[in-house]
Amino acid sequence: MSTTEEHPAQAGAEPLQYDEGYGPEVGVGPHPGPWPEDPRYDRALLAEGDRRNVVDAYRYWTREAIVADLDTRRHDFHVAVENWGHDFNIGSVVRTANAFLAKEVHIVGRRRWNRRGAMVTDRYQHVRHHPDTEALTAWAAAEDLPIIGIDNLPGSVPLERTVLPRRCVLLFGQEGPGLTEEARRHVAKVCSIAQFGSTRSINAGAAAAIAMHAWIQRYADVPAPE
């Protein structure tokens, strides 16, 4: 069964994390009972099991309850990505933004984007659309959020030597062309990621993960090891 198909035993199920037969089955089966009375729990999931791509603390919760809980502790950075050619990396960026609990993800350009790599994490992440970079810039200005471009361009400053603002928008271009000329005109600065090999650039999804984690390292309340 493909990762984009639904699990036959669960109506409206999310895609599996692996093709069947490769890797362990994710999640839990039907709740053994007695069922909790907490309204955050989904009775269908309690009855049928929960194979969604969520952490164990959210097993059997409704999607709405999970989003509401995440909203109480989202981080102060936003992620924006240009979408002019249906870049397959956008799904990966959304999934990483969910993992690092970004405030919102902003799709700039085409409204439709390739969701396969997101593994349904967009259901738990606020995603906002802007028709162009000018619209994103106007929104960010109204929110008093500086836009930080991430790209290896002449004149960019090393991310490794940069203190990212606590409240900011991290803007990424598409795989291949990187940030458009319009985007470069609207950013407060452009940060580059240090590279030491022969390739000219790294995958856009990987670059986004590195930049988000740079913010996490500086500002997030990382729990101590158990």
Report the CATH superfamily, name and number, of domain 73-219.
SPOUT methyltransferase, trefoil knot domain (3.40.1280.10)
On average, the pLDDT of the chain sits at: 90
* 5 vs 100 pLDDT, higher one: 100
> What residues contact 54, with CB distance under 8 A and at least 6 apart?
61, 66, 124
> In this structure, are strands 127-130 and 77-83 parallel, antiparallel, or unpaired?
unpaired
Q: Residues 170, 135: contact at Cβ < 8 Å?
A: no
Residue 98's pLDDT is 98
Average pLDDT, stretch 82-93?
Answer: 86
Q: Which of 199, 136, 206 is nearest to 175 (CA)?
A: 206
* Amino acid 3: pLDDT: 33
Provide the pLDDT for residue 89: 87
List pLDDT tens digits, range 139-195: 999 999 999 999 999 999 999 999 999 999 999 998 778 899 999 999 999 999 999
CA distance 56 to 6: 20
From 9-18, 23-32, 57-66, the region with the lowest mean pLDDT: 9-18
Least reliable range by pLDDT among 53-62, 66-75, 84-93, 159-168: 84-93
Cis peptide before 34 (omega within 30 of 0): yes
pLDDT beyond 50 at 7: no
For the segment 206-210, the average pLDDT, to the nearest whole number, is: 96
Two tokens, residue 64: 């709405």
Strand boundaries in the chain, DSSP class E: 77-83, 105-109, 127-130, 147-150, 157-158, 168-172, 189-192
Q: What is the pLDDT of residue 220?
A: 97
pLDDT at 222 over 70: yes
Q: What is the pLDDT of residues 96-144, one digit of tens each?
A: 999 999 999 999 999 999 888 899 999 999 999 999 999 999 999 999 9
Cα 218 to Cα 54: distance, rounded to the nearest angstrom: 25
- Going by C-alpha positions, the residue among 117, 185, 189 that lies closest to residue 150 is 189
Of the pLDDT bands very low, low, confident and very high (cuts 50, 70, 90), residue 13 is: low
Residue 8 predicted with pLDDT over 60: no
Separation of alpha carbons 120 and 131, rounded Å: 23
Local structure of 122: helix, strand or coil: helix
Phi, psi of 182 (to 5 degrees): -60, -45
Task: Determine if residue 93 is left, alpha or beta; phi over 0 gives left, psi from -120 to 50 gives alpha, anything else beta.
Answer: alpha
Mean local confidence (pLDDT), 36-56: 96
**What pLDDT was estimated at residue 161?**
97
**End-to-end CA gap in the chain:** 37
Q: Residues of CATH 3.40.1280.10 domain(s) within the chain? A: 73-219
51 pLDDT higher than 60:
yes
d(CA 172, CA 133): 11
Model confidence at 15, pLDDT cuts 50, 70, 90, reads low
